[in-house]
Structure 1
Amino acid sequence: MASSSDPKVLHRVIRFISGLAVSSFFTELRVIGGENVPKDGPIIVTATHHNMMLDPVVLSVGFPHRRILNYWSKASLFNNPIMRYILFSSGNIPVDRKSKDRQALFKGTFDALSKGEAVALFPEGTSYTEPRIMQVKDGAAWAALEFSKWLREHPDVDTRTVTIIPTSIVYTNKSKYRSGVIMEFGRPISVKDYEEQFFSTEENAARAAVKRLTRAIESELVETSINAPDWDTLYTARMARDLLWEGGKSIKLDEFVIISQTLVDLFSTPDLTANFKSVKRHLLGYYSLLQSSHLTNSVLSSLPLSESLNPNTPTTIPGRLFTLLILIRDSLSALVQLPFFFVPLIVHLPVYAMGRFGAKLVEDEEETQAQNKVAFGLISLLLIYSGSFFFLWALFWYTPAGALFSAFLVYLFAVYHIKMIDSNYERAKRLIATWRILVGVWTPKRWDLSMAALSQYTTPKTPPENPWIDRPKTPVEGEATAARSDANRPIGSGTGNRSARRPPSRRLVRHVLKARVEAVNALASFFDQLEREGGDKRVNSSLHLARLFGQVTDGESSEKGWRYSKEVVGFLRQRGAKIPTLGNEVINGAWAALSSEGEGYTTSEEKDEPVWVA
């Protein structure tokens, strides 16, 4: 067994390389609640697990005080002495899952905790993609309380009782390159509060204490993550968030979770307004069409679109000449910047290609895509940087000083690439989006998908169910709604049924632009109705948000949280939401013009025009 003085060199090397991968893939890793993590002493970190191997990578790289984390590994892997050293040095501890004796099961965990080290677990048991936390198993609670028992049996051990640190890892878009990641540490949970019941001689008292501790862990994880009752509600909230904060980076990562959960709660309140179902349908339709067309609302909003469109006139199709001018402008802008980014682009092309290839291998497994992008890209990156280092070193005649200077140049080149990638990546996405819109606008309207063919692309595709998730036999609150929602999906849409081959984006562009206007109009009408009704309507709320901003009342079987609609709207505005409101004037813009053949769309469902207000 590695001693407490073991420097765990392999872990530090892996963490350093992982840090490079994290900074290359994500724009930012934001740590919240770091003050809840003690600098020393035994702790068990219980983290959410929704992005495969990236979760332990992010957890280790961003963990406060640079503490080394020990992860559970299969005990049989430690039989070989060489493998044993490698595993211990890289931050792994054995767990004998076959043992029915919990003291034997957690022996490696007790050894680490007794030295004041940190053990990291993923109590959900598996990585999965679901709209909410589906399960939290009892392993972490058993390990913590059994350690308290072990301490009683070993009074000579100089250490204190273990503290549990619930940790949520939330990704702004977990499979997207240059997205953000938030790691929030919840309130520490002291095991002492559960020891009396655990050591009680009453029948099943120990198991009851474990269950109670597990519920406390789950409660903290829920409070620091985003949880929706079903996929439709989550997708609706995402689309509303993208429209209210066009350009997702305008949302502070510190507030990303609380804003997202507020929107989830808002759209979890059935019949909140008369047009509630219509609003959800329009938002879901636009969300799905964006998925199918390889476009994003943030990119569309970055183009010179008219900020408000009159729904009573032909609106959503821009003129062909105007679209061509946008393409020329963005192309010239890209060409101006290209000389500064050309060399990094050429050098890193294999990295981009391998990352894309890795994602293609698991196209239907969202939680694995980012892992493959990072893994394939990192391997390519190490090969390229190693080759660059030896090439530069050869120019300096393989001298020691030349080695240091070559390594420094490679490091500067890597930093330069990361600094340059964000602006150029966004510019490239704009250019590609403009090209797709240009092709779609110049294509004759008769080539567009018919409404019958379009229906399968107006319902978002949901990930397949994870077979390792323990689903309750009786649906919990929200699952019945999800089942009804799935039952109402068009045939050929939804989970696993949509054709794997997407239609050419040129056949969807007009539909996407029309759906964008309809979604904005629907959102404007939704908030308008909320405010017209006086703002005293009750909006469903997660319990932790209700305690902060609303009230909690006793329900038939559990507590219910709610907030006033006026407070919710004010909450969103205070945090930068650009809520569209209904006005009377007609605003004409280039995007409100017909195409050169008069191939426009009209929208008739809404009667007023949205005007953006801060």
Structure 2
Amino acid sequence: MHYINSMPDDDPATTIYVIFVGINDLVGHVQPTDVLECISTQIDRLHQAVDAKQFLVFNMVPFDKSPRETGEQAMAQTWIEQFNEQLNTTITEKSAQHKDMQMVLIDTHTIISQVLNNPESYGITQGTTDYYARTHNPRQDANALDNGNVYFWFDKAHMTNVVHAQLSKSIVDQDPFPNIKLMSTGGSSTSYKVSPIYRLDEFPSRTTHASPPVGGVGLLLQLYSNLAMPFGLGHEFVILVSRSALWSFFVDIKLQDEHNIPSEGPMIVAATHHNMIVDPAVLSVTFPDHRRFHYWAKDSMFKHPLAKRFLENCGVVPVDRKTRNNAQLYAATYDVMRLGESVAVFPEGTSHTLPHLGTFKDGTSFAALEYAKVIEQDPHPNPDGSLPRKAVILPVGIVYPEKSKYRSVAIVKYGKPIHVDPYMDTYYQDPKKAAKQLTADLRSAIEGLTVNAPDWESRDAAEMARWLLFPGENGSMRDYISVTQSLIGAFADLSASDLDIALLEQSLRAYKMELEALALKDSHIAKYNERDITAASTTMELLRRTMASMIDLPLFLPGLVGHLPLYVAGYYAGKFEIYEEVRAQNKIFLGLLMVPFVYILAFIWGWYTLFGGTFFGFFAALATLGVFVWYHVVSIDERYENFKDLVGRWRLFDAVVLGRGMWRRKERILQLKQLRDSNLQGIRRMVKAYKGKNDHVHTVWLAIRSRVKQFGDPAKLHGRRKKLAKQFEWSFEE
């Protein structure tokens, strides 16, 4: 698909398409019929898409005689016989089906057998022992040993360049396409074009660059039936839908410490799991350089043919949970990691809403350690000639300050990769102990990327303290994780020895609970920092916000009316879900289901009402709808915040001016204002008193000072910047 989508300009009259099936992992993994079906599909696809006319098809080499098949020769020989016989039939049928194509079957089995039966004639003295087993000297290219080498086998399943050179020579001598000049290995020039090799299987989409494995023929295309499934259109569709959903649900997704991500090689990306299916969506959509992830799924999900095809097309790999053998459990995972690809996992298993990380399972560690063991014991090169590399574990923390809220923020923080080499000696002796050690280190790494508290009371107090110290920033602050975690640590360190701080922590929790009980936010009370909450001030604030909203309403009303069904559905989707970790998922799913109907109705209405249902009106209505949706999404944030503030102003007006609840709500709000003032002074005193004595408080102080430095000289500030700087005025004098 990648080759086809690249719109190649290769002349069909002089281009040869070579289909070559590698011998890696064939026996026990795929059936001959599966490989043949794949070959047939690719031939049809190439013929239809690029008018391919000339095909070289290689039958299977005698890998039953390879060192790898010692003791399994009979089974391997049966596989080869079945495959080669059926391949001959397939090529015959294809030739009859496409009269304009010329298909040549290369009898690779006979050519290689001749070398095996008479190795001395080709300068080979080591026909049964492989080069790697004898020398333990791996190379990046299995076919590039020094000239004059005497080995037939590079390793247990790959032949050396001596054998490939003979295969190349035999093909050239056969002269399969007289109108195209071919030159075997050793020629100084060629008359054919050598293109990057493209791996094709059921779902071709990825490319790899490597030297042609067959002498100097210069393969334009190469089929490896043993490779794990690359990502197909199903995966790209899921990514596209996920990106659209996340764009509309979150106001921002911040990436931090991307420099920790390895630039190449296989990875097991271990992430937190606090928000159901939103987590893999965030991880996959935002990962730098558009690298794709495979995800685990129970092998039972692959039983239905359609489900199997879709899951494989999306890059999902099966996990056999019934076996206790780790090599079998993660067999498909190892296949994709041999390709240098990455697998994303969630060590906590089940998604949850806790003030800290959940219990980590050892599956991630076993997968990484067992894979390292497999390639240490059997380091045969990958099908592209490169040597397999051990996978690193990349810790990732996904943090949601308000994970179920519409237009909230997500933060993705990448940790330093964990290499498995330090654990391997222990793993060979005691696998469970090594896995436990690695899991503990992984958990510790992810703890440093996330916000963790011993209980919700401690976390609520820290969140409220952060609100007071950094008003208005909430999850949008760049150092949300470090500041919040430092406040948790500061209260844990100081409350035991300082009674005032222990009381402050309790007061902060009480303030948060009272805000929730009155359905208010700290920003509503913060408006009255320098004045009392009176009937006059409350009325003026309400009128000011109402007038501003009325002026803005004509511009925003069409989008609001059009999207109102989505907002109502999202509200109730969250309201009736008791588990917070499921609410965002439900809102997004319901929105995705309703969006097509809402937008189709809006389009039809616009087409016939605004543009008279004409032909050109169709395109005008389509463009109008696109602008309508875009404008609404990019302008929703400020309007949504204004709306929430307006609701808060009405609640204050209702309590303070109208006196709902026999004026008891007014009294609670006035007491709440006093409690906020007391908490604000208390947290500021704590920061000033301990900024040089406690590391956690020092981190918070540095964050405060970073804001102060942004404003510069307070005397030179005006307008909104002066108002923002005033919030940190207490820290100007150190």
Query: What is the one-letter code of the residue matched to 2:640?
Result: Y
Taking structure 1 as reference, are residues 133 and 611 closer, same or farther at Cα in structure 2, changes over 3 Å only?
A: same
Taking structure 1 as reference, are residues 577 and 371 closer, same or farther at Cα in structure 2, changes over 3 Å only?
A: farther
- 1:295-310 correspondence runs (5 A): 295-301=520-526, 303=527, 305=528, 307-308=529-530
**1:256 aligns with one of 476, 480, 503:** 480
1:437 aligns with 2:437: no
Instruction: Provide the residue aligned with 2:426 in structure 1.
Output: 197
Is contact 1:245-1:577 (8 Å) kept? no
Instruction: Provide the residue aligned with 1:514 in structure 2.
Output: 671
Is contact 2:687-2:701 (8 Å) kept? no
Instruction: Provide the residue aligned with 2:166 in structure 1.
Output: none
Query: What is the one-letter code of the residue matched to 2:598?
Result: I
Taking structure 1 as reference, are residues 119 and 407 closer, same or farther at Cα in structure 2, changes over 3 Å only?
A: farther
1:56 aligns with 2:271: no
TM-score by length of 2: 0.62
Instruction: Provide the residue aligned with 1:321 in structure 2.
Output: 536
- 1:539-554 correspondence runs (5 A): 539=694, 550=695
Instruction: Provide the residue aligned with 2:567 in structure 1.
Output: 352
Once residues 458 and 599 of structure 2 are traced to their aligned partners in structure 1, the CA distance between those partners, rounded to angstroms, is 44
Cα offset, 1:45, TM superposition? 0.6
1:379 aligns with 2:593: yes
Once residues 373 and 691 of structure 2 are traced to their aligned partners in structure 1, the CA distance between those partners, rounded to angstroms, is 54
Segment of structure 1 superposing worse, 339-348 or 159-168: 159-168
1:35 aligns with 2:35: no
1:29-50, CA deviations, whole angstroms, 9 ceiling, x for partnerless residues?
A: 0111222223443111100011
1:162-207, CA deviations, whole angstroms, 9 ceiling, x for partnerless residues?
A: 11111000012111111111001100111223223222xx3xx222
- 1:68-79 correspondence runs (5 A): 68-79=292-303
Taking structure 1 as reference, are residues 139 and 8 closer, same or farther at Cα in structure 2, changes over 3 Å only?
A: same
Once residues 289 and 300 of structure 2 are traced to their aligned partners in structure 1, the CA distance between those partners, rounded to angstroms, is 32
Q: Percent identity?
A: 31
Is contact 2:273-2:279 (8 Å) kept? yes
1:349-399, CA deviations, whole angstroms, 9 ceiling, x for partnerless residues?
A: 01101101110121x311112221222223222322244445567759786
Instruction: Provide the residue aligned with 2:406 in structure 1.
Output: 177
1:226 aligns with 2:441: no
Taking structure 1 as reference, are residues 164 and 2 closer, same or farther at Cα in structure 2, changes over 3 Å only?
A: farther
Once residues 142 and 444 of structure 1 are traced to their aligned partners in structure 2, the CA distance between those partners, rounded to angstroms, is 64
1:483-511, CA deviations, whole angstroms, 9 ceiling, x for partnerless residues?
A: xxxxxxxxxxxxxxxxxxxxxxxx3x542
Instruction: Provide the residue aligned with 2:341 in structure 1.
Output: 117
Cα offset, 1:531, TM superposition? 4.1
Is contact 2:249-2:408 (8 Å) kept? yes
Instruction: Provide the residue aligned with 1:142 in structure 2.
Output: 366
Instruction: Provide the residue aligned with 2:237 in structure 1.
Output: 13
Instruction: Provide the residue aligned with 2:354 in structure 1.
Output: 130
Unmatched 5+ stretches in structure 1: 310-314, 450-506, 540-549, 551-562, 579-609
Cα offset, 1:277, TM superposition? 2.7
Taking structure 1 as reference, are residues 17 and 111 closer, same or farther at Cα in structure 2, changes over 3 Å only?
A: same
1:90 aligns with 2:221: no
Once residues 529 and 232 of structure 1 are traced to their aligned partners in structure 2, the CA distance between those partners, rounded to angstroms, is 19
Taking structure 1 as reference, are residues 375 and 446 closer, same or farther at Cα in structure 2, changes over 3 Å only?
A: closer
**1:81 aligns with one of 298, 305, 308:** 305
Once residues 529 and 244 of structure 1 are traced to their aligned partners in structure 2, the CA distance between those partners, rounded to angstroms, is 11
Query: What is the one-letter code of the residue matched to 1:571?
Result: L
**2:325 aligns with one of 90, 101, 106:** 101
1:280 aligns with 2:505: yes
Once residues 260 and 8 of structure 1 are traced to their aligned partners in structure 2, the CA distance between those partners, rounded to angstroms, is 41
- The structure whose RCO (Cα within 8 Å, separation 6+) is larger is 1
- 1:568-583 correspondence runs (5 A): 568=699, 570-576=701-707
Cα offset, 1:528, TM superposition? 2.6
User: Per the alignment, in what secondary structure is the counterpart of residue 393 of structure 2?
Assistant: strand
- 1:415-434 correspondence runs (5 A): 415-434=630-649
**2:545 aligns with one of 330, 355, 372:** 330
Cα offset, 1:577, TM superposition? 8.2
Once residues 93 and 577 of structure 1 are traced to their aligned partners in structure 2, the CA distance between those partners, rounded to angstroms, is 50
- 1:148-163 correspondence runs (5 A): 148-158=372-382, 159-163=388-392
**2:466 aligns with one of 237, 241, 247:** 241
- 1:442-521 correspondence runs (5 A): 442-444=657-659, 447-448=662-663, 507=665, 510-521=667-678
Segment of structure 1 superposing worse, 123-132 or 440-449: 440-449
Cα offset, 1:529, TM superposition? 5.9
Is contact 1:45-1:164 (8 Å) kept? yes
Once residues 291 and 424 of structure 1 are traced to their aligned partners in structure 2, the CA distance between those partners, rounded to angstroms, is 22
Is contact 2:705-2:731 (8 Å) kept? no
Once residues 646 and 266 of structure 2 are traced to their aligned partners in structure 1, the CA distance between those partners, rounded to angstroms, is 52
Cα offset, 1:248, TM superposition? 2.0
1:540-580, CA deviations, whole angstroms, 9 ceiling, x for partnerless residues?
A: xxxxxxxxxx5xxxxxxxxxxxx5x5x356324224389xx
Q: How much is the aligned-residue C-alpha RMSD, in angstroms?
A: 2.7
Aligned length in residues: 482
Cα offset, 1:536, TM superposition? 5.5
Once residues 352 and 432 of structure 1 are traced to their aligned partners in structure 2, the CA distance between those partners, rounded to angstroms, is 16
1:212 aligns with 2:343: no
Instruction: Provide the residue aligned with 2:681 in structure 1.
Output: 524
Once residues 253 and 123 of structure 1 are traced to their aligned partners in structure 2, the CA distance between those partners, rounded to angstroms, is 28
User: Per the alignment, in what secondary structure is the counterpart of residue 283 of structure 1?
Assistant: helix
Taking structure 1 as reference, are residues 252 and 330 closer, same or farther at Cα in structure 2, changes over 3 Å only?
A: closer
Unmatched 5+ stretches in structure 2: 1-200, 207-229, 383-387, 710-727
Segment of structure 1 superposing worse, 388-397 or 138-147: 388-397
Once residues 326 and 614 of structure 2 are traced to their aligned partners in structure 1, the CA distance between those partners, rounded to angstroms, is 56
Is contact 1:47-1:120 (8 Å) kept? yes
